Structure 1
Amino acid sequence: MISEEERALIKRAKEGDEGSFETLLLSCKGKAYNIALRYVKDENDAMDVLQESFIKIFRHLKNFNEESKFETWVYRIVVNACYDFLRKKKKKYREVSMESEDHPAGAELDIPDGAPPPEEMMLNREESAYILTCLDKIPEEHKKIIILRDITGLSYEQISEILECSIGTVKSRISRARKNLKEIYLNNLKIRDS
């Protein structure tokens, strides 16, 4: 539920108070960035998605109905922006030739390696990379719920609002997603170790 302090900040932000808007964004910027980073797997791309999300939030703040927490609304916008970004990127890669004016035939191309973020590498580089590889092999609906709950740490209520479904649906999706991830993890582990 939205607090009175948050409601007052939102009201002032809707009236054009930039300081109130900035305070609202600062309260959820870190987690919003982490969500974007988990989806797009590149720090620069995550910052671009976040910037685009904040512009959308600013433009549509007057439409925020205050039925959910502000941060939940922000996370929903960030998740949607990530999916838009990934769709555009996928389409771009299908359409772009390996040869261009900038990269003539035979020239070396810098291709991002898709490595996990530094904090994961510090904990356990190989295990984290393996888990992320497995995560990429599960259906998008399962991947989304794992990122929101297990990686980002959002509550069932927040996920319910972001995905616009009931808490019961969230719990069952999380259960199925974890089971699916575990099966892929164990099956690939057998293959990898054999």
Structure 2
Amino acid sequence: MNYVEARLVRLARNGDRQAFEELVEMYKDKIYHLGYRMLSNSMEAEDVTQDTFLRVYMNLDRYDENQKFSTWIYRIGTNLCIDRLRKRKPTYSLDAEMPEGDGTDWYSLLKSDQDTPEEEVVLSETQDQIRGAIETLPEKYKSVVILRYLHDMSLQEIGDVLGMPVTTVKTRVHRGREFLRKKLEPEFGGGI
């Protein structure tokens, strides 16, 4: 843990509200994006973000300073997302329309080197297909794939966040990638 983070945690533990607010500022976007990627719903992502910081605040005295603060907060956020995913009741309908949500397409916010509108449409469709494939991942693969590829965490960090051995994380990342490859292969003609 870096010095500034450690100092903020110590101050927040001692009741310094400003220090806690700074911790919130440091992590609120990261936790929101984690929630959005795992739950595919902006309102649920906002709820998870608030719940994460509420739990952090209520349990600051239980935080072990020997571990990274980022690992601890990601573990809380990830577990809250997994709890929400488990509580969802799947509903399937062959003729159901796909929900549009709040209209936010996070992939479209990424900077693009594309020059033409046609290329941008193809890119957007590709990103939608990838996002859709990630959403269909089984729960045990979804969290590791999101943490690995969308949050750029190392296998060790993911193991720390999810409380599992690195070998298990490695296996799940591999199987998640294989699941995505098989799911996307028909769309991209084996170029994955």
Q: TM-score, normalised by structure 2?
A: 0.77
Note the C-alpha offset of 1:181.
Answer: 1.2
Aligned equivalents of 2:102, 2:148: Cα separation in 1? 21
Within 2, Cα distance between the matches of 1:144 and 1:166?
15
Counterpart of 1:76 in structure 2 is 75
Per-residue CA deviation, residues 42-88 of structure 1 (Å, 9 max, x unaligned), is 22221111111111111111111122211111111111111222334
Residue matched to 1:10: 9
The residue aligned with 2:148 is 149
- After TM superposition, the structure 1 = structure 2 runs for residues 12-161 of structure 1, keeping only pairs within 5 Å, are 12-88=11-87, 90-91=88-89, 112-114=99-101, 117-121=104-108, 124-161=123-160
Runs of 4+ aligned structure 1 residues displaced above 3 Å come to: 114-117, 187-190
Structure 1 position 189, deviation (Å): 5.5
- DSSP-derived class of the 2:64 partner: coil
Deviation track 1:87-144 (CA, whole Å, cap 9, x = no partner) reads 34x24x87xxxxxxxxxxxxxxxx9425884231356321112112222333211111
Are the equivalent residues in 2 in contact too, given 1:40–1:46 (CA < 8 A)? yes
**Paired letter, 2:54:** I
1:126 aligned counterpart, secondary structure: helix
Deviations 1:122-176 (A, max 9, x none): 5632111211222233321111111111122223232111111233332232122
Q: Percent identity?
A: 31
**Aligned CA distance change for structure 1 residues 29 and 115 (closer, same or farther; 3 Å):** closer
Equivalent position SS for 1:16: coil
User: Which secondary structure state, in structure 1, belongs to the residue aligned with residue 59 of structure 2?
Assistant: helix
* 1:115–1:129 contact (8 Å) kept in structure 2: no
Contact 2:42 2:101 in 1 (8 A): no
Query: Which amino acid counterpart does residue 118 of structure 1 have in structure 2?
Result: D
The amino acid that maps onto 2:106 is E
* Counterparts in 2 of 1:40 and 1:27: CA distance versus 1, 3 Å: same
Gap regions ≥5 residues in structure 1: 95-110
Checking the alignment, whether the CA contact within 8 Å between 2:40 and 2:135 is kept in structure 1 is no
Counterpart AA for 1:170: V
Looking at structure 1, the residues matched to 54 and 143 of structure 2 have their Cα atoms a distance apart, in angstroms, of 23
In our comparison, the structure showing a higher alpha carbon Rg is 1
RMSD: 2.4
What is the aligned length?
A: 171
